[in-house]
Amino acid sequence: EMLAMATRKALVPQVVSGRALARKVASAPARLRGQAAASVRVRRRVTTTRLQATSSNGDTLGVIIVDHGSKKKDSNEMLDAFADLYKRKTGRDLVEVAHMELCEPSIETALTKCYSRGARDIVVAPYFLSPGRHIKQDIPRIVRNAAKNYPDVNIEIAQPIGLDPLLAEVIESRVKAASEEL
């Protein structure tokens, strides 16, 4: 039961302020700076109820789904397809995709699009499974740099996908499909 409780707690999308992240990382001891970006104090939680188009303060909420990025067009198009699925499932309209590197749209480009569509609260949702270097260092750095151009925007970075019972079901469906080919 403790594991289940810990897993449920880990599944709640937790976010941190881009500005708070920069302050927290800068004030962290050197040995912890790499970890600080992913383990800073949670400022608020993002609820993902259907048709929620505004943040807790009433502003228009933008979502940027960010993956690594690839030189392969098919891989990048998969993120577009996921964003469409996400929009249909959540009822959110202001959703942009971004690639951390290698191709457009970049995080800065997606942020600009969200801003031009009226978002003043933006959640950057990493389309990554685990909290590695990109989650702990690269994405926060890129977001921090892009945020400098938008001082009136509150930007939060959600945790990566992480452990979720639904992922076990997805993997099992893939295992079953592959085992039928044996």
Tens of pLDDT along 23-76?
A: 444 444 443 334 333 333 333 333 333 334 555 555 589 999 999 999 999 999
CA separation, residue 19 to residues 28, 121, 154, 157 (Å): 14, 13, 8, 11
Task: Please give the average per-residue pLDDT across 1-23, as a whole number.
Answer: 39
Q: What's the predicted TM-score (pTM) here?
A: 0.68
What's the confidence (pLDDT) of residue 22?
A: 43
What's the confidence (pLDDT) of residue 60?
A: 85
Mean pLDDT of the chain: 77
Is residue 98's pLDDT more than 80?
A: yes
Rounded to whole angstroms, the Cα distance separating 110 from 120 reads 13
What's the confidence (pLDDT) of residue 148?
A: 93
What's the confidence (pLDDT) of residue 55?
A: 57
136-168 pLDDT per residue, tens = 999 999 999 999 999 999 999 999 999 989 999
Residues labelled catalytic:
68
